[in-house]
Protein backbone atom coordinates (compact mmCIF):
# COMPACT_ATOMS: atom_id res chain seq x y z
CA UNK A 1 0.00 0.00 0.00
CA UNK A 2 2.83 2.34 0.80
CA UNK A 3 4.24 2.07 -2.72
CA UNK A 4 0.93 2.32 -4.61
CA UNK A 5 0.63 4.62 -7.56
CA UNK A 6 -2.17 7.15 -7.41
CA UNK A 7 -4.11 5.17 -10.02
CA UNK A 8 -3.76 1.89 -8.09
CA UNK A 9 -4.71 3.77 -4.98
CA UNK A 10 -7.99 5.08 -6.39
CA UNK A 11 -8.87 1.68 -7.84
CA UNK A 12 -8.22 0.10 -4.47
CA UNK A 13 -10.36 2.71 -2.76
CA UNK A 14 -13.21 2.17 -5.20
CA UNK A 15 -13.10 -1.56 -4.53
CA UNK A 16 -13.24 -0.94 -0.79
CA UNK A 17 -16.08 1.50 -1.14
CA UNK A 18 -18.06 -1.00 -3.20
CA UNK A 19 -17.33 -3.70 -0.61
CA UNK A 20 -18.57 -1.58 2.23
CA UNK A 21 -21.63 -0.30 0.35
CA UNK A 22 -20.67 3.35 0.44
CA UNK A 23 -21.14 3.98 -3.30
CA UNK A 24 -19.03 5.99 -5.75
CA UNK A 25 -19.58 9.34 -4.05
CA UNK A 26 -17.64 8.12 -1.02
CA UNK A 27 -14.53 7.17 -2.99
CA UNK A 28 -12.57 10.42 -2.76
CA UNK A 29 -13.17 10.64 0.97
CA UNK A 30 -12.00 7.14 1.69
CA UNK A 31 -9.09 7.73 -0.64
CA UNK A 32 -8.09 10.62 1.54
CA UNK A 33 -8.36 8.46 4.63
CA UNK A 34 -6.10 5.84 3.09
CA UNK A 35 -3.53 8.39 2.01
CA UNK A 36 -3.43 9.89 5.44
CA UNK A 37 -3.18 6.46 7.03
CA UNK A 38 -0.22 5.62 4.85
CA UNK A 39 1.54 8.62 6.35
CA UNK A 40 0.19 7.99 9.85
CA UNK A 41 -1.77 11.20 9.73
CA UNK A 42 -5.45 10.32 9.48
CA UNK A 43 -6.98 13.23 11.39
CA UNK A 44 -9.34 12.33 14.20
CA UNK A 45 -11.31 14.80 16.28
CA UNK A 46 -12.69 13.54 19.61
CA UNK A 47 -15.60 15.34 21.28
CA UNK A 48 -17.06 14.70 24.72
CA UNK A 49 -20.70 15.48 25.43
CA UNK A 50 -22.47 14.11 28.49
CA UNK A 51 -19.70 11.67 29.23
CA UNK A 52 -17.65 10.38 32.16
CA UNK A 53 -14.42 10.09 30.09
CA UNK A 54 -14.48 6.35 30.84
CA UNK A 55 -14.26 5.50 27.13
CA UNK A 56 -11.22 7.78 26.80
CA UNK A 57 -9.61 6.07 29.78
CA UNK A 58 -10.49 2.70 28.27
CA UNK A 59 -8.79 3.72 25.00
CA UNK A 60 -5.64 4.33 27.05
CA UNK A 61 -5.90 0.70 28.22
CA UNK A 62 -5.26 -0.48 24.65
CA UNK A 63 -2.43 -3.01 24.65
CA UNK A 64 -1.48 -3.80 21.05
CA UNK A 65 -1.15 -1.29 19.55
CA UNK A 66 -0.58 0.72 22.72
CA UNK A 67 -1.76 4.34 23.01
CA UNK A 68 1.58 5.85 21.95
CA UNK A 69 1.60 3.73 18.78
CA UNK A 70 -2.00 4.61 18.04
CA UNK A 71 -1.16 8.32 18.30
CA UNK A 72 2.00 8.05 16.21
CA UNK A 73 1.24 5.33 13.65
CA UNK A 74 -2.49 5.29 13.00
CA UNK A 75 -4.24 8.55 13.69
CA UNK A 76 -3.44 12.18 14.18
CA UNK A 77 -5.48 13.02 17.27
CA UNK A 78 -6.19 16.65 16.44
CA UNK A 79 -8.36 17.41 19.44
CA UNK A 80 -9.26 15.55 22.61
CA UNK A 81 -10.47 17.42 25.71
CA UNK A 82 -8.66 15.11 28.13
CA UNK A 83 -5.37 14.78 26.24
CA UNK A 84 -4.80 17.90 24.15
CA UNK A 85 -2.01 20.13 25.40
CA UNK A 86 -3.77 23.03 23.70
CA UNK A 87 -6.17 24.61 26.18
CA UNK A 88 -8.70 27.44 26.21
CA UNK A 89 -8.79 29.57 23.04
CA UNK A 90 -5.82 27.69 21.62
CA UNK A 91 -7.70 24.39 21.98
CA UNK A 92 -10.81 25.87 20.36
CA UNK A 93 -8.68 27.28 17.53
CA UNK A 94 -7.36 23.78 16.75
CA UNK A 95 -10.86 22.35 16.91
CA UNK A 96 -12.39 25.06 14.73
CA UNK A 97 -9.58 24.94 12.16
CA UNK A 98 -10.21 21.22 11.80
CA UNK A 99 -13.93 21.75 11.38
CA UNK A 100 -13.19 24.37 8.72
CA UNK A 101 -10.89 22.01 6.82
CA UNK A 102 -13.20 18.98 7.29
CA UNK A 103 -12.46 15.41 6.22
CA UNK A 104 -11.57 14.00 9.62
CA UNK A 105 -13.02 11.11 11.50
CA UNK A 106 -15.18 12.30 14.37
CA UNK A 107 -15.23 10.20 17.53
CA UNK A 108 -17.94 11.18 19.98
CA UNK A 109 -18.09 10.14 23.62
CA UNK A 110 -21.18 10.87 25.72
CA UNK A 111 -24.81 11.60 24.98
CA UNK A 112 -26.36 14.84 23.70
CA UNK A 113 -28.60 16.93 26.01
CA UNK A 114 -31.21 17.51 23.30
CA UNK A 115 -33.85 19.01 25.59
CA UNK A 116 -31.49 21.11 27.72
CA UNK A 117 -28.74 22.68 25.59
CA UNK A 118 -27.34 24.49 28.65
CA UNK A 119 -26.45 21.08 30.14
CA UNK A 120 -23.28 20.86 28.07
CA UNK A 121 -21.22 23.83 26.91
CA UNK A 122 -17.74 23.88 25.38
CA UNK A 123 -15.91 27.09 24.52
CA UNK A 124 -19.05 29.10 25.38
CA UNK A 125 -20.97 27.21 22.67
CA UNK A 126 -23.75 24.75 23.43
CA UNK A 127 -22.34 21.29 22.74
CA UNK A 128 -25.40 20.44 20.64
CA UNK A 129 -24.43 23.17 18.13
CA UNK A 130 -20.77 22.25 18.20
CA UNK A 131 -21.58 18.60 17.53
CA UNK A 132 -23.72 19.51 14.50
CA UNK A 133 -20.90 21.66 13.11
CA UNK A 134 -18.26 19.01 13.76
CA UNK A 135 -20.37 16.13 12.40
CA UNK A 136 -21.33 18.05 9.26
CA UNK A 137 -17.68 18.48 8.33
CA UNK A 138 -16.61 14.93 9.23
CA UNK A 139 -16.06 12.01 6.85
CA UNK A 140 -17.73 9.64 9.25
CA UNK A 141 -18.78 9.54 12.89
CA UNK A 142 -17.88 6.93 15.48
CA UNK A 143 -20.23 6.97 18.46
CA UNK A 144 -18.04 5.61 21.25
CA UNK A 145 -19.61 3.88 24.25
CA UNK A 146 -23.08 3.37 25.67
CA UNK A 147 -23.96 7.08 26.03
CA UNK A 148 -22.98 8.16 22.50
CA UNK A 149 -24.26 4.86 21.11
CA UNK A 150 -27.65 4.51 22.76
CA UNK A 151 -28.06 7.35 25.28
CA UNK A 152 -26.68 5.34 28.20
CA UNK A 153 -27.28 6.38 31.80
CA UNK A 154 -27.71 10.11 30.98
CA UNK A 155 -30.56 9.00 28.69
CA UNK A 156 -32.15 6.66 31.24
CA UNK A 157 -35.65 6.96 32.65
CA UNK A 158 -36.24 10.15 34.70
CA UNK A 159 -33.29 11.97 33.17
CA UNK A 160 -33.77 15.74 33.19
CA UNK A 161 -31.82 16.68 30.05
CA UNK A 162 -33.57 14.73 27.29
CA UNK A 163 -30.27 13.04 26.51
CA UNK A 164 -30.09 11.32 23.12
CA UNK A 165 -27.61 9.10 21.35
CA UNK A 166 -25.46 10.76 18.69
CA UNK A 167 -27.31 8.95 15.89
CA UNK A 168 -30.75 10.00 17.17
CA UNK A 169 -29.57 13.58 17.56
CA UNK A 170 -27.94 13.83 14.12
CA UNK A 171 -30.92 12.17 12.44
CA UNK A 172 -33.26 14.60 14.16
CA UNK A 173 -31.18 17.46 12.80
CA UNK A 174 -30.88 15.99 9.30
CA UNK A 175 -27.13 15.55 9.42
CA UNK A 176 -26.59 12.46 7.32
CA UNK A 177 -23.18 10.91 7.90
CA UNK A 178 -22.01 7.34 8.06
CA UNK A 179 -22.19 6.45 11.77
CA UNK A 180 -20.58 3.50 13.49
CA UNK A 181 -21.89 2.72 16.94
CA UNK A 182 -19.58 1.13 19.52
CA UNK A 183 -21.68 0.41 22.62
CA UNK A 184 -20.27 -0.72 25.96
CA UNK A 185 -19.80 1.03 29.26
CA UNK A 186 -17.04 1.75 28.66
CA UNK A 187 -16.11 0.74 25.13
CA UNK A 188 -13.49 -2.02 24.99
CA UNK A 189 -10.23 -0.57 23.60
CA UNK A 190 -10.06 -3.36 21.00
CA UNK A 191 -13.54 -2.53 19.73
CA UNK A 192 -12.53 1.08 19.26
CA UNK A 193 -9.01 0.61 17.91
CA UNK A 194 -10.08 -2.34 15.75
CA UNK A 195 -12.90 -0.28 14.24
CA UNK A 196 -10.74 2.80 13.61
CA UNK A 197 -8.06 0.78 11.88
CA UNK A 198 -10.68 -1.06 9.84
CA UNK A 199 -12.28 2.17 8.73
CA UNK A 200 -8.92 3.63 7.72
CA UNK A 201 -7.59 0.51 6.02
CA UNK A 202 -10.64 -1.20 4.61
CA UNK A 203 -13.58 1.16 5.03
CA UNK A 204 -16.65 0.78 7.21
CA UNK A 205 -16.92 -2.77 8.62
CA UNK A 206 -20.10 -4.86 8.41
CA UNK A 207 -22.59 -3.53 10.91
CA UNK A 208 -25.64 -4.93 12.69
CA UNK A 209 -29.04 -3.21 12.61
CA UNK A 210 -27.96 -0.79 15.34
CA UNK A 211 -24.82 0.19 13.48
CA UNK A 212 -22.36 -1.80 15.62
CA UNK A 213 -19.58 -3.81 13.92
CA UNK A 214 -20.48 -7.48 13.66
CA UNK A 215 -16.88 -8.46 14.20
CA UNK A 216 -17.27 -7.47 17.87
CA UNK A 217 -21.00 -7.48 18.60
CA UNK A 218 -22.43 -10.39 16.64
CA UNK A 219 -22.90 -13.02 19.33
CA UNK A 220 -24.65 -13.09 22.69
CA UNK A 221 -22.50 -13.00 25.81
CA UNK A 222 -24.52 -15.96 27.08
CA UNK A 223 -23.64 -18.17 24.08
CA UNK A 224 -19.91 -17.66 24.71
CA UNK A 225 -20.12 -17.74 28.52
CA UNK A 226 -17.62 -19.81 30.51
CA UNK A 227 -20.52 -20.69 32.85
CA UNK A 228 -22.76 -21.89 30.01
CA UNK A 229 -22.44 -25.50 31.15
CA UNK A 230 -23.70 -24.44 34.60
CA UNK A 231 -26.74 -22.95 32.89
CA UNK A 232 -27.38 -26.14 30.97
CA UNK A 233 -27.14 -28.19 34.17
CA UNK A 234 -29.38 -25.67 35.95
CA UNK A 235 -26.63 -25.05 38.47
CA UNK A 236 -27.40 -21.49 39.50
CA UNK A 237 -25.54 -19.16 41.86
CA UNK A 238 -27.75 -18.25 44.84
CA UNK A 239 -25.82 -15.28 46.21
CA UNK A 240 -22.93 -13.03 45.13
CA UNK A 241 -19.63 -14.94 44.82
CA UNK A 242 -21.46 -18.29 44.71
CA UNK A 243 -20.52 -20.80 42.02
CA UNK A 244 -22.77 -21.50 39.06
CA UNK A 245 -24.61 -19.63 36.34
CA UNK A 246 -25.43 -16.06 37.35
CA UNK A 247 -28.77 -15.94 35.53
CA UNK A 248 -30.89 -15.99 38.70
CA UNK A 249 -28.86 -13.09 40.12
CA UNK A 250 -29.94 -11.01 37.15
CA UNK A 251 -27.25 -11.72 34.55
CA UNK A 252 -28.14 -10.01 31.27
CA UNK A 253 -25.73 -12.11 29.18
CA UNK A 254 -28.68 -13.77 27.40
CA UNK A 255 -29.81 -10.44 25.90
CA UNK A 256 -26.43 -8.74 25.39
CA UNK A 257 -24.32 -8.87 22.24
CA UNK A 258 -20.57 -8.54 22.81
CA UNK A 259 -17.46 -10.70 22.73
CA UNK A 260 -16.30 -10.03 26.33
CA UNK A 261 -16.16 -13.76 27.30
CA UNK A 262 -13.70 -14.43 24.51
CA UNK A 263 -11.85 -11.14 24.35
CA UNK A 264 -11.67 -10.42 28.10
CA UNK A 265 -10.76 -6.97 29.48
CA UNK A 266 -7.58 -5.18 30.50
CA UNK A 267 -5.17 -7.07 28.26
CA UNK A 268 -6.93 -10.43 28.60
CA UNK A 269 -7.02 -10.30 32.39
CA UNK A 270 -10.65 -10.84 33.39
CA UNK A 271 -14.26 -9.93 32.67
CA UNK A 272 -17.41 -9.40 34.68
CA UNK A 273 -18.76 -12.96 34.72
CA UNK A 274 -15.33 -14.49 35.36
CA UNK A 275 -15.15 -12.19 38.38
CA UNK A 276 -18.47 -13.59 39.64
CA UNK A 277 -20.45 -10.51 38.64
CA UNK A 278 -23.60 -10.81 36.54
CA UNK A 279 -23.39 -9.14 33.10
CA UNK A 280 -25.20 -5.81 33.39
CA UNK A 281 -25.76 -5.60 29.64
CA UNK A 282 -23.65 -2.50 29.14
CA UNK A 283 -23.42 -3.00 25.36
CA UNK A 284 -27.17 -3.57 24.97
CA UNK A 285 -29.52 -0.90 23.71
CA UNK A 286 -31.59 -1.33 26.88
CA UNK A 287 -28.59 -0.71 29.17
CA UNK A 288 -29.73 1.07 32.35
CA UNK A 289 -32.76 2.50 30.57
CA UNK A 290 -35.53 1.38 32.94
CA UNK A 291 -35.83 1.06 36.70
CA UNK A 292 -38.06 -1.93 35.99
CA UNK A 293 -35.06 -3.83 34.60
CA UNK A 294 -32.53 -3.69 37.45
CA UNK A 295 -28.99 -5.04 37.12
CA UNK A 296 -29.35 -7.58 39.92
CA UNK A 297 -32.24 -9.68 41.12
CA UNK A 298 -31.71 -9.73 44.87
CA UNK A 299 -34.75 -7.69 45.88
CA UNK A 300 -37.23 -9.73 43.87
CA UNK A 301 -35.94 -12.87 45.55
CA UNK A 302 -36.54 -11.36 48.95
CA UNK A 303 -39.99 -10.18 47.99
CA UNK A 304 -40.77 -13.60 46.52
CA UNK A 305 -39.59 -15.16 49.74
CA UNK A 306 -41.77 -12.81 51.77
CA UNK A 307 -44.75 -13.45 49.51
CA UNK A 308 -44.27 -17.22 49.78
CA UNK A 309 -43.80 -17.24 53.55
Residues 208-247 that bind another protein (CB under 8 A): 239-241
**Residue among 21, 28, 123, 226 that touches another protein (CB under 8 A):** 123
Residue 282: strand, helix, or coil: coil
Any contact of residue 122 with another protein (CB under 8 A)? Answer: yes
Q: Which stretch binds another protein (CB under 8 A): 8-16, 21-29, 218-226, 299-307?
A: 299-307
Residue 97 near residue 45 (C-beta atoms within 8 A): no
- Per-residue contact flags (x/-) with another protein for residues 40 to 69, judged by CB under 8 A: xx-x----xxxxxxxxxxx-xxxx--xxx-
Any contact of residue 267 with another protein (CB under 8 A)? Answer: yes
Any contact of residue 23 with another protein (CB under 8 A)? Answer: no
Report d(CA 142, CA 148) in Å as an integer.
9
For residue 47, the cross-strand partners are: 108
Burial 27-53 (b: 16+ CB within 10 A, else e): bebbbbbbbbbbeeebbbbbbbbbbbe
Please indicate whether residue 120 is annotated as part of the active site: no
Looking at beta carbons only, is 20 or 98 nearer to another protein? 98
Please indicate whether residue 225 is annotated as part of the active site: yes
β-bridge pairing 112-113 and 163-164: antiparallel
Q: Note the maximum CA span of the chain.
A: 79
Looking at beta carbons only, is 118 or 176 nearer to another protein? 118
Q: What are phi and psi of 35, to 5 degrees?
A: -60, -45
Any contact of residue 304 with another protein (CB under 8 A)? Answer: no
Report d(CA 148, CA 109) in Å as an integer.
5
Any contact of residue 154 with another protein (CB under 8 A)? Answer: yes
CB of 150 to another protein, least distance (A): 13
- Order of strands, edge to edge, in the sheet holding 42-48? 75-80, 42-48, 105-109, 140-144, 179-182
**Residue among 1, 21, 28, 118 that touches another protein (CB under 8 A):** 118
Query: Among residue numbers 82 through 111, which ones bind another protein (CB under 8 A)?
Result: 82-92, 94, 97-98, 101
CB of 137 to another protein, least distance (A): 12
**Residue among 22, 34, 37, 77 that touches another protein (CB under 8 A):** 77
Q: What are phi and psi of 291, to 5 degrees?
A: -60, -25
**Catalytic-labelled residue, pool 80, 120, 147, 257:** 147
| Residues with a known catalytic role | 52, 55, 147, 185, 222, 225, 245, 251, 260, 272, 279, 282
Amino acid sequence: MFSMTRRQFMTYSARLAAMTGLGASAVPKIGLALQSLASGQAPLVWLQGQSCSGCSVSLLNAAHPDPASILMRYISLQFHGTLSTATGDLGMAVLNANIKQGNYLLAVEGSVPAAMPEACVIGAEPYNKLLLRAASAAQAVVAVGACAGFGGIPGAENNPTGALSVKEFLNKNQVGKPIIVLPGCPVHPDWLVGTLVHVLKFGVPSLNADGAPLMFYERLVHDQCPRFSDYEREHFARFFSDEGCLFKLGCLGPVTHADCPKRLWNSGTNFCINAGAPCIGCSAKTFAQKASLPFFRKVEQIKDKAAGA
